[in-house]
Structures are given as structure tokens and as C-alpha cells.
Amino acid sequence: MQSFNPPVRTLMGSGPSDVHPRILSAMAKPTIGHLDPIFIAMMDEIKEGLKTIFKTDNKLTMPISAPGSAGMEACFTNLVEPNDKVIICINGVFGMRMKENVTRLGGKAIIVKDNWGEAISTDKLEHALKNNPNANIVAFVHAETSTGAQSDVKTLCKLAHQYDCITIVDAVTSLGGTELYVDEWEIDAIYSGTQKCLSAMPGISLISFGKRAIQKLNTRKTSVNSWFLDLNLIMNYWNGDSKRTYHHTAPVNMLYGLHESLVMILEEGIENSWVRHKKNHELLKNGLEAMNINFLVNKKDRLPQLNSVLIPKGFDDEKIRSILLNDYNLEISAGLGAYTGKIWRIGLMGYSSRKENIVLCLSALKEILR
């Protein structure tokens, strides 16, 4: 074996996005013990930083030592008990994974289907809530990475609460890239990841639980079906106020990376980060439309950080993406499910959301699609 030397790519796909050099160098700092008081002080800063970007005062806000999918599992495993009725609004791939979580936990999944590429319909959710008076959880994805559509979290949460349901929201692609207010929108449990709009490495998820979710967790009749993700246990490490106890060996250097990414996003200001994502989306959109490349999602529901566009007629999806990768070191993503071969997903997330990346992407496409 020899040392691995990856090429330098520009990551404009569905994630991971480009990792900022400051975050890469933060991760190269010397590893210290995960119970070292200096490390614990850094953990406290991470929790405060996460609360700021999630826009919440939730005490139970912390990273989970595993990728976004573990954040998803942490929410479902801790909140869903056997026979719980969970309404899941599905408008893409990641909603389907929520269903998988619920059924594996012995819960009953009630599916509200929406078209891929469209926002979740509040009318359909209301209909499902009326027809299932004993449902106790509503789950949905804020920013569907498989299509680039965003949904109205505030209205969906309000509706769920009118019918005494708590909410689980996937914010893996939305956090940092688009408006998100956990407390103001009364989101009960939320998870996100580091590898999209936070400009950081993949492999860590971020969760936040509010009062209603903690009450559901505290009044469980059965124990949580996972040792690693049982928040009652993890909290002794992340939330133990003065005395922290060993739960698992924290990914020390990854947490340096997360810490630096929070420092950077707070320097920029979370609201300014939303504005940057929006402005760069406009720039990309104007360039693509000038080339007669059209968007899948209607203007109102479009995510600025994930641009799904229809592949122009007569061009081969895989061939174009492989030219971009091999000749331009530029990664964009393919469509999924019914959109395989029909759309490209162009990400403008975190550190990837930069003018120079847009110029590269537009000029490369212009040359190839000539």
C-alpha cells in the first residue's frame, strides 16, 4: 500500500460539499483526550454554536458521532415506540428512509405522498391528521436533497401541533443554507449534518430536542431500542453539567472540524450565510437559463443550495458528468429514482457556494454542451 493522494475536486453535487481549508487544518491539530478539560470546554462551545445556528435555546442540542443518517435514527429511535402512529410526508428519497426507520422500530407509518420535486402539501397533511386522530408524531424533510424542493416547516409544525402530534424534521441540507428557526417554528426534534451547508467534513450529525420531544422521551414505556443512540446515555457525556462520563470515544479531530465550521459561520453570520446561498443560486440560475437549461422545481419551492435541472435533450447524463469529473475536476450529482438520467443536481452548499465555482460550472457546461 501507498499513501492515498486524492485529486483536488470542486464538489458541486448533493454533498459532501467542499470542505473549507480552515476546517481541514483544524482537523490536523494534535488529538487530545475526549475527557480532557480543554476538550470539554470546546464541546460546550460547540453546543452553544449549534444552538445559535439552529436558532434555539434547547439544552439538548448536540452532535452525534456518526453521519446524518445517525441523526435521523437518533430522532426516530428515541421518540418512536412500538405501535406509535407516525405520519410521514414523503416527497423524495429521504422521506422514504424515515418510513424505514419507523417500521423497523415497530411503529405504524402513515404515508402522505407528495410528488417528487414539489413541496409537501399542508392540505394532504391535514387530511391525514383528521383521519388518524391517534397519530402522535409527524415527520418530514425540510430540504429534499433528491429533488431540490423545500417545504413550509412553520405551517406543517403548526398543523401537527393542532392535532397533538410532535414533529421530527430533517434539516440535513437546509441548516446554514436556508432560513431555519427551530424555536420560532416550534420544531420538536430536528437533525442535520456537517457535510452540506456548514462547509465541514462528512461524518457528524447534529440534533436538537425541544420540550415536547423530551417529554415523549421521558414518558416512554419501553427502553430505547439502540444502546449507541439512546440519548439518556449520550447526555451523560454531552450534557453532564460538571461530571462527564465515558459513553464512546468521541471523534476528537472531527469535532475540532465542527468547532471551526461553527466559528466560521458565526463570523459570517447565519443570516448572511442564507443570503450568500440565495445570491449564488441566482447567479447560477441566470447562467443556466441563458443556456436554455431549466429547473425541475417551481421558483417558490426551490432550494438555493440544491439546483435540480433538466438534462438538455440529446445529451447523455453519465457521459457529461464523467467529462466534468475527469476533465474539469468538477462533481455534480445524478438524479435519483424516477429522475435518474433526467436531471442533474448542482449543489451550492457551504464553501462550495462561491462565485468561482459557478463560473467554472457554467463555462464547463457551455463547452461540453456546445
End-to-end CA distance of the chain: 42
Q: Determine the size of the site formed for ligand PLP (CB under 6 A).
A: 14
Is the CB of 19 or the CB of 364 nearer to ligand PLP? 19
Q: Which of 204, 206, 169, 205 minimizes the C-alpha distance to 186? A: 169
Q: Which residue is nearest to ligand PLP (CB)?
A: 68
Do 85 and 134 meet the contact criterion of CB atoms below 8 Å apart? yes
Q: Which residue type does 47 have?
A: K
**CB of 314: closest distance to ligand PLP in angstroms?**
30
Do 166 and 79 meet the contact criterion of CB atoms below 8 Å apart? yes
Block residue for cell numbers 480532557: 36
**CB of 305: closest distance to ligand PLP in angstroms?**
11
Q: Is 346 in the site for ligand PLP (CB under 6 A)?
A: no
Q: Which of residues 70-89 bind ligand PLP (CB under 6 A)?
A: 72
Block residue for cell numbers 457554467: 362
Among 12, 110, 141, 207, binds ligand PLP (CB under 6 A): 141
Is the CB of 51 or the CB of 142 nearer to ligand PLP? 142
Among 12, 13, 15, 237, binds ligand PLP (CB under 6 A): 15
User: Which span sits near ligand PLP by CB under 6 A: 67-75, 116-124, 125-133, 250-258?
Assistant: 67-75
Q: Is 173 in the site for ligand PLP (CB under 6 A)?
A: yes
Q: Is 148 in the site for ligand PLP (CB under 6 A)?
A: no
**CB of 118: closest distance to ligand PLP in angstroms?**
16
For residue 64, the Cα-to-chain-centroid distance in whole angstroms is 13
Among 63, 107, 193, 251, binds ligand PLP (CB under 6 A): 193
Q: Is 170 in the site for ligand PLP (CB under 6 A)?
A: yes
Q: Is 145 in the site for ligand PLP (CB under 6 A)?
A: yes
Euclidean distance between CA atoms 82 and 44, whole angstroms: 34
Among 22, 42, 67, 336, binds ligand PLP (CB under 6 A): 67
Euclidean distance between CA atoms 39 and 120, whole angstroms: 41
- Between the alpha carbon of residue 231 and those of residues 99, 208, 238, 240, 348, the distances in Å are 21, 11, 10, 12, 33
Burial category of 233 from C-beta neighbours within 10 Å (exposed 0-12, middle 13-18, buried 19 and up) = middle
262 grid coordinates: 461553527
Euclidean distance between CA atoms 130 and 110, whole angstroms: 12
- DSSP 8-state symbol, 147: T
User: Which span sits near ligand PLP by CB under 6 A: 4-12, 158-166, 169-177, 271-279?
Assistant: 169-177
Q: Is 172 in the site for ligand PLP (CB under 6 A)?
A: yes
Euclidean distance between CA atoms 190 and 154, whole angstroms: 13
Q: β-strand 149-150 against 166-170: which pairing, if any?
A: unpaired
Nearby residues of 359 by Cβ (< 8 Å), 6 or more positions away: none
Q: Is 153 in the site for ligand PLP (CB under 6 A)?
A: no
Is the CB of 72 or the CB of 119 nearer to ligand PLP? 72
Among 54, 94, 140, 351, binds ligand PLP (CB under 6 A): 94
User: Which span sits near ligand PLP by CB under 6 A: 168-176, 222-230, 233-241, 337-345?
Assistant: 168-176
- Is residue 345 a known part of a binding site? yes
Do 340 and 147 meet the contact criterion of CB atoms below 8 Å apart? no
**CB of 69: closest distance to ligand PLP in angstroms?**
3
Q: Is 334 in the site for ligand PLP (CB under 6 A)?
A: no
User: Which span sits near ligand PLP by CB under 6 A: 18-26, 78-86, 166-174, 230-238?
Assistant: 166-174
Angle (CA) 333-338-339 rounded to 5° is: 30
Interface residues with ligand PLP (CB under 6 A) are 15, 67-69, 72, 94, 141, 145, 170, 172-173, 193, 195, 202
